[in-house]
A and B are shown apart, each in its own frame.
Chain A
């Protein structure tokens, strides 16, 4: 079922001469795991902010579960379904103590206190920060704060989670753990939309939307996108390092399949060849 629908969406920032979104139409199905990629300024964050009505289209419509974001009475129900986590955690933290911050959203929604306790503990477990529940947030690192911001979103139990470059401040393990967490949440029904510059993360998604100067340059599987070297070049994307290595192996006459987008898969294929 179409969960999120963009229909000829146009958006332009006041101070800008170019359209940030230039006639965007797209459909995201319930239960999808989608990556949105593109150069800085390509419009991918602007697109993400349209999903929960933080930005409204100048023309065209965005609907979430059939609810039009332009209708003011839809905004609250839409925001209860769509959680967005942004790049810089300092802009998303509202209180001083970790567990208070995670509880802030559910409290505002009027969730009963005993339910809030359960939600906060679960969300902190999910991001691996339960031991930090009573810590002062200013003593945490940037990456740890980002995990708290993500926990705050998860405690709202949204049906759609939008990660707007939210892994930029995480260390390699933090990023790997978060992706594993998102995959688990996705398996249990969460729709996940990842706006990202990390091409390794893109290979984990089912579908990729490539943005370029406010337009959709391509939609397809990660394999489709990373095979299209001309597209990568024209949209200022890099291929994941593992795919670059697979390409180089093929140059050396080693028959690695195009499906191999991760070092683990390349190693498995090599073991059969060596």
Chain B
């Protein structure tokens, strides 16, 4: 069953002076998808994802998770338990004395048995590539930036969410740290069947990893399609304050100069072959 967002609106401000952060937003996230969420700063991305586990109660419209309405008091708890949230810079929320205790914090609140907690913590640490024997007794503050981020992610995974929502999970990480996170997300989706919803400003990452993309513009959905289709609209994306993968951009520049270069978004081979063919026959 999917996450269904139906006619969701959200306003903020003072009476008589309100702005829409979200305006009549509707979409469905199918189970097993890797949904990329893009949009300029202030487009409503973070506001939107905070509705997905009821952190912001929906004032107008509905969000249901596997059929459970987040607006319904009785169903909210169940719906929330299905959705794991990883916020911007989640490592700032690490607090416990050891990595083990930090990752165990959520499962402990579920009143699980010690064995079950232990199993969940160790599995989560392995999932994020932190060897339990090396890391479980360390202080979270001894870890490197990339390791801290992964420890924070493990804390969310230990809750065994069916849907994992991440708000710019790679911001501030170096290239190795970025690719480590992306690899973990791909594995979670393929091997554990976890559905991923990821906010990112990196068009390259969205092009390579998302199965579907939503582009927000001033609180409304501008695109809801496959990355391949979305990146066909390069000029419109630039107009929305976004960009496109460099290979898409290069192809766009060549087309603007009158060449019929093929459109590419996550594999440049077709473009390179076209260029090579043109030169060989020139």
A40 contacts B146, C-beta separation under 8 Å: yes
What 1/0 flags go to B242-282 for Cβ under 8 Å of A?
11011101100110010100000000100011011011001
Minimum distance in angstroms from A42 CB to a CB of chain B: 8
Nearest Cβ in chain A — how far from B230, in angstroms?
14
Residue from B41, B204, B273 in contact with A144 in the complex, judged by beta carbons closer than 8 Å: B41
Tell whether, in the assembled complex, residue B40 and residue A173 are in contact, meaning their CB atoms are under 8 Å apart. yes
The answer, yes or no, to whether B201 is at the interface (CB within 8 Å) is: yes
Q: Which of B245, B279, B282 has the most CB of A within 10 A?
A: B279
Counting chain B residues whose Cβ lies within 8 A of the other chain, the interface size class is 35 or more
Query: Cβ of A172 and Cβ of B246 under 8 Å apart?
Result: no
The answer to whether the Cβ of A267 comes within 8 Å of any Cβ in the partner chain is yes
Additional pairs, 7, CB under 8 Å, beyond known A143-B40, A274-B278: A15-B142, A39-B177, A142-B41, A197-B173, A197-B174, A252-B275, A267-B253
Q: Is A71 an interface residue (CB 8 A)?
A: no
A266 within 8 A of B: yes
Please tell me if A171 contacts chain B, counting CB pairs below 8 Å.
Answer: yes
Judging by beta carbons under 8 Å apart, are B204 and A173 in contact? no
Check if A263 is an interface residue, CB within 8 A of chain B.
Answer: yes
CB nearest to B249 among chain A residues: A263
Chain A residue with Cβ nearest B254: A267
Contact of B41 among A141, A197, A245, A267 (CB under 8 A): A141
Q: Are A39 and B176 in contact (CB under 8 A)?
A: yes
Query: Number of A interface residues, CB 8 Å?
Result: 44
Are A252 and B201 in contact (CB-based, < 8 A)? no
Interface contact B174-A40, CB-CB below 8 Å: yes
Which residue of B has the minimal Cβ distance to A271? Answer: B257
Nearest 4 CB-CB pairings of A with B: A143-B41, A40-B145, A238-B175, A173-B241
In-complex Cβ contact of A172 among B146, B241, B247 (8 A) = B241
A186 vs B41: C-alpha distance in the bound complex, in angstroms? 25
Min CB distance B89 to A, Å, is 6
* Interface residues in A84-102 (C-beta closer than 8 Å to B): 87-88
**Chain B min CB distance to A114 (Å):** 28
Instruction: Please measure, in the bound complex, the distance between the C-alpha atom of A148 and the C-alpha atom of B242, giving whole angstroms.
Output: 20
Q: Is the CB of B13 within 8 A of A169?
A: no
Q: CA separation between A171 and B204, bound complex, in Å?
A: 13
How many Å from the CB of B176 to the closest CB on chain A?
Answer: 5
